Amino acid sequence: MTDAAKPGLTVEQVVRRVKRFHYALKRLHEIFVARIAAEPVYELKMAFSRHGYLCSEHVATMRTRVSEMREPPLGLDVVPDTHLEIFFDEILAAPTTEELLIGLYENPSPR
């Protein structure tokens, strides 16, 4: 109970964290949608479609949450970390479906 009563993250830390999640989900959505048409395996097309939809729902929810914690401008169009941008650029540029799947589903999330 004493641990629960201790102060946690500050509002600034929470906003920064939510913005990173927002960026990651937005980029995942872009990757899923970009690869649907080129994917020959029907089951993967359906999975990319479903996961892209779920990412877009979470992006909208996180945008709403940031707007509740901050006044405009929200800064959601700013890349929070160049390493994060490179990470998702590499996944998007995966030349084969196998490498794309490894990038999307097996890579640990960047910190």
pLDDT in tens, 44-103: 999 999 999 999 999 999 999 888 887 678 888 889 999 999 999 999 999 999 999 999
Report d(CA 87, CA 43) in Å as an integer.
Answer: 25
pTM: 0.85
For 84, other C-beta atoms within 10 Å of its C-beta total 17
Mean pLDDT (the chain, rounded)? 90
Is the Cβ–Cβ distance between 29 and 52 less than 8 Å? yes
pLDDT band at residue 11, thresholds of 50, 70 and 90?
A: confident
